[in-house]
Amino acid sequence: MSEFDTNIPTTFDPFAEANAEDSGAGTKEYVHVRVQQRNGRKSLTTVQGLKKEYSYSKILKDLKKEFCCNGTVVEDPELGQVIQLQGDQRKNVSTFLVQARIVKKENIKIHGF
Amino acid sequence: MADEAQIDVKEEVPDIAPFDPTKKKKKKKTTVVDLDDDSVDKLAEKTENLSVSEGFDSTLAGAKKKKKKPVDISNLIDESVDAKNEDLDDLAEEDDQDAVSLQPRYPWEGSDRDYQYEELLGRVFNILRENNPELAGDRRRTVMRPPQVLREGTKKTVFVNFMDLCKTMHRQPDHVMAFLLAELGTSGSLDGQQRLVVKGRFAPKNFEGILRRYVNEYVICLGCKSPDTILSKENRLFFLRCEKCGSGRSVAQIKAGFVARVGRRTAGGT
């Protein structure tokens, strides 16, 4: 019996739960960027699904500064925090998030027309 | 109605193309076959021939041909490279069939080298396309009509041929509607004549983009690209099964996501 025990490598456990960086690739956590119509030709951009670790208010501040628009962080009971920006900023937001390496390009989903 | 006709014609063109330009094909073929025969013999004569054929071409077809010619000149030095390049050209210019059919019939004609896989593949597909084009499989059989959109008042949009499109995609109107509304981020409903009424102003192009995404996600089979699929629900999960190749996959549920509060708030609040 003791022979078997010695054979088992100790450093790597193949049956351990996949976690941390591995799971990120498999379960695509999309960042949804949506646009919503308001009255007239005004619209609203919402960014949903950013990782919890990021400071939303800081991202928002940069977004606002970059696109010269106003915006807020909205608390949603189901979806958590959502960034809202004034105007149709979908393209801007996605390029910004990719450039700042906050989200990978394939994890951004742009909705709307 | 005019739109429909247009679209139909556009879809039809690639089908007809291989047969139609017969005169061009013939002329070009003679010249290039010349070239190929020569290439076995001498280099000097080749260049001569080339210049002749070049003049001939420019009278025939113009700029397009000229662009093509230089490639041939540089490649005539090495035959195998020549053949390969032609094949690449074939692949690249899939859309304008004129150019393809203007190539020599078979690149290996006049030489006793081995056939290359791409050449043989191209030959098979050419023959297939000529004899029974429905087997070639390189055409879009599904013709989606462009969405017809009306404005109802200033704040609502009516999607007139919504039902039609659902039928062509073989999808439940409910499912398509859920997707459309989720993507548009608005609310809407079907009216008495089975038209979709959506709140907000939208252009036909907007609907088209979303429908395109819908088709990609919920209609097209990933394996064989055929739109001949069935969407079924098996214990709360949606599955897509292809009728052509039998493959299946699961598709994501439609989720509306976050919808910001737009418009006036009521005094009482929620």
**pLDDT digit string, tens, across residues B144-177:** 788 889 998 988 999 998 888 888 888 889 989 9
Q: Report B:161-200 residues touching A (Cβ under 8 A).
A: 182-186, 200
pTM to 2 decimal places: 0.57
B183: nearest CA in chain A? A112
Q: How far apart are CA B146 and CA A57, in angstroms?
A: 42
The CA distance from B185 to the nearest CA of chain A, in Å, is: 6
pLDDT tens digit string along B234-247?
888 889 888 888 88
pLDDT tens for chain A, 113 residues long, are 555 555 555 566 656 655 444 443 445 678 889 898 888 788 999 998 888 888 989 999 999 999 999 999 988 888 888 999 999 988 898 899 899 888 888 888 888 87
At A25, which helix (H) or strand (E)? helix A21-26
Q: Do A36 and B262 touch (CB under 8 A)?
A: yes
Residues of B in contact with A27 (CB under 8 A): none
Q: Do A113 and B258 touch (CB under 8 A)?
A: no
3-state secondary structure of A43: strand
- CA B145 from centre of chain: 15
Residue B94 has pLDDT above 50, yes or no: no
Q: Do B186 and A37 touch (CB under 8 A)?
A: yes
Residues of A in contact with B180 (CB under 8 A): none
Q: Where are the beta strands (DSSP E) in B160-236?
A: 188-190, 196-199, 229-234
pLDDT tens digit string along B42-65?
444 444 444 444 444 444 444 444
Q: What is the pLDDT of residue A50?
A: 87
**Which string of b and e fits A31-70 if b means at least 16 CB within 10 Å?**
bbbbbbbeeeeebbbbbbbbeeeeebeebbeebbeebeee
Q: B205, B250, B258, B262: best mutation site toward chain A, by most A Cβ within 10 Å?
A: B258
Q: How far apart are CA B169 and CA B203, in angstroms?
A: 21
Q: Tell me if chain A has a CB within 8 Å of the CB of B265.
A: no
Q: What are phi and psi of A51, to 5 degrees?
A: -65, 150
Q: Report A:24-63 residues touching B (Cβ under 8 A).
A: 32, 34-39, 44, 46, 48
Q: Interior CA angle at B21 toward B15 and B27, to 5°?
A: 145
The CA distance from A19 to the nearest CA of chain B, in Å, is: 23
Q: Name the residue type at position B134.
A: E
Lookup: tokens for A10: 């100790």
Q: What is the pLDDT of residue B158?
A: 93
Q: Do B185 and A76 touch (CB under 8 A)?
A: no
